[in-house]
Amino acid sequence: MGRDLSRFDPDALEAAAVWVKLCRAQLAVSARVFRRLPPRTSLTQFAVLEALDYLGPMYQKEISEKILKSTGNVTVVVDGLERAGLAARRRSSDDRRKVVVEITDDGRRWLYGILPVYLQALKEEFAVLTAEERADLGKLCRILGHGLRSSGDATGRTEVGGAR
């Protein structure tokens, strides 16, 4: 028994269908990649440590903005990372009211210990796409993530993969 969706905007329905495909693809790839990592490794733990390693010490609010997680979720994750000795909190030298989070040497060793497995898993997942498709996907994700087009014709469209 199908639903009658004729009363809905066809463009909105198409956007919803693409959204579902994008979410399912992300969830499927993430699940397959993270199955290859050590037990109890969460995407958020990995994202926090990776961000701290790449960007340096940050306030928890900055971490939450970088990894697109709630500040409450980041607090819980940082608590666990701190208990495990993988991250540390310290008072900001600029503003004693603020707490800065940084990756520890043990955290960096842990991250770099699993990074080769993580990168190889991603390489294998994305091998189903050609180099051009991967580049196009990256461009499209950037456009979608920013919610705008930085350049283009009068319609706001930019060329991706040689097609409009």
Pairing of strands 99-103, 87-91: antiparallel
Q: How far is CA 27 from CA 18, 21, 136, 145, in A?
A: 14, 10, 20, 17
* Domains present along the chain, CATH in parentheses: 10-146 (1.10.10.10)
- Percentage of the chain with pLDDT > 70? 89
Q: What is the pLDDT of residue 56?
A: 97
Q: What is the pLDDT of residue 149?
A: 63
- Summarised one tens digit per residue, pLDDT across range 57-97 is 999 999 999 999 999 999 999 999 999 999 999 998 888 88
CA distance 58 to 65: 11
CA distance 25 to 45: 21
Higher-confidence position of 111 and 94: 111
- Summarised one tens digit per residue, pLDDT across range 138-153 is 999 999 988 866 555 4
Helices 71-83 and 60-67: angle between axes, nearest 10 degrees: 110
